[in-house]
Chains A and B, each alone.
Chain A
């Protein structure tokens, strides 16, 4: 409370006249709106880059035989596609949304640590410059998969130290961003806004931030051990020196599993904002939703070895990880039921944010079902490392996390720009995206069940039909995203004036400020009942 007032008192006077213009603005701004915009633009660029890599992959997989790339380049494409999408597209997008919306939703003037906020962004930018520069290094980018398993990853060439360093920088950026989120939410909520009155998007990010702080250092530790094995003759992952390659898998997945929840929890938060607005009633079971997110986050720490069921794990371990993984379905199901109950006896309209949120509801659930199947160890012995896994995680990440982010953009874009966007274009974008995402990924379930392993550039002829269909879906999906880019550019440039509330039934403090949101908002903390 007093901190927020302190923030207001300190030095806003000097900003009003002297806001830097032009390029310098983006290197010196500490404004959460500017920084949020930078993260979002960055993530869109990375989404397109990662998308082009995916199209290269699907183009090669369009038909059996190798037509376009050689096997090493294919492995490099799959590795970079994942690294770019996970760390360059999804995570920065959710961070951008956090930056823009958390202060607005809790009635704070800015994030608690604005300079660290700016530093986090530019650190990420440099990290990706470094990672993408591996495309130009001799030997090319890393090709061991985003999971970087040794000993294979230790066969990498000059890209290896660049990739590891990029990961360290990106991890530092995420940790600092997470600290910022926690300090902001804990300290700067408007008077009267207790934690259990806070919007669910903020809850989702509060918990995500704790996950980030807990596991990013573990990832950093793991890749540092890879670095020392590579350069300094340590043997963490080398049996010859008394180590074990499987140790890396444990360390990686201890990070990796919470990481995927780091990617999806903000999307859960977004859906919890969008569905009530377009159902014109508050979220059903607010407290249950908070407990559900907290349970999911807790459980995410004790399931990591479900990525490793074929390494030769003791029976007790297999049972434990199988059961704990299945258990995550319970709080996740609670959330899905609560979202449905929010719609129940509501008054529902189908604007673009709601379309994406509803598509999320259906398609993320499909991803959840395949996840449940993967949790059963005997069955997983057939699914592991096949396209069934690829289908599962793309369903939870694309119609899951990405649709959540798209819903958020469509929801808050008028607030950011002050203009309503072209609704017709948005709906075209939605339908093409929603249809093609299924054409792209649903057949991959069949491919996995039929026996096609993952991470292969060429396949036996019986897999040809489904691969062709999937590739058609990929191109359709990819081209549809161009509509989205065009829509955003158009909206930023102009359009019908947006009111403060924008939507028919807005809820939350962000809708009490004008559209576009003024550069400085809530300089005086609002009263929140």
Chain B
């Protein structure tokens, strides 16, 4: 192996593959990354190991399937090998700047292996956040109850009350920056550049996780302008986000907000792209660029009513959620066209490690496809999994729900939802948007092949190593779950 290179891992929250220019999007979200893609390995079909964030990241950083340690465990187990721990042990300097995503915090084990880990969850930041009072008076509650006895009146009441709340909480002095709930990409890149500037010639691992395309969608004004969406003003942005978040609206009524919401989301992507250009410029100026591998991907995508949903629910494992961009820029390596078969995120860490000259640990579930990537070789299929009903992993009860298991090869995709007792098989060639599940009698061979693969996934042996990691993680969670536990209630009641 040649001399170790440094590694920059960029993960973007909620970035679906088809919203990047280098994957065919027609909006100018990623002009810089499109240029970079021209000299990078671009994986045509990178697939998240799970969604959302808490089911995706064990695949990215620890090269294992999200439920491999049992559904009791969320995050990285204490002592589990990750990109960061492996590289720290190899003598790398390590730092992570994570844009205030609570599921990527130290409490879920993500700080392991990083000498600098900033998640910005409890710090003073140059953004204010937003607090909208949502308390209804007793009179209002009574009117709501009466109105909802007649469905048309209930709907009218909800609309009027929503408009009333928007008017009452609107402020003329609102700006995009004051509305934003997490640090924007420029803030993270500033921090990362300061750290890069402090390094000597030691190889380093830098992980940046951006939240700019994540809801609520409040991009910087500069990004909106770059996207030609500057006519959307902050007060409209706030209204749109509030409306998009309404639980009482059906798909048809939400549809009227969709285009503007997508514009806000896309502007968030554009801001990440702009800041990555700046990061690379700094790497060049520090003479680090020619010895650095840059990997860019997303933890999962985002739904804009594609299958009737919004945001990124674990019960919606369609391609807008699982198909993510993945590019790997490796200096000195000739660009080749990569296989268009699904490439699972669980193979990303070992492949990236081999690309920088570090041997991946045996404990990883995924394995390196570095050799195949260099010669344009093939890989076969991808499995993704999550707990469909787990929208809040802090709630231990929800974590124990039924699995949603997805197996896909180049052409077919099987979705097994054990909660809804539903099985869907799609032909992605003739139906890339997954609009029509095949009838049970269609494509029996493909169905059986993917069912077998799903079974093999569930039958893979639980290693002693995994059992120990699971136990360590559960010991950690005894403390975390204290307030939600049944025993806690019993303890207080006794």
Pairing of A with B:
no
Chain B residues proximal to chain A, CB less than 8 Å: none
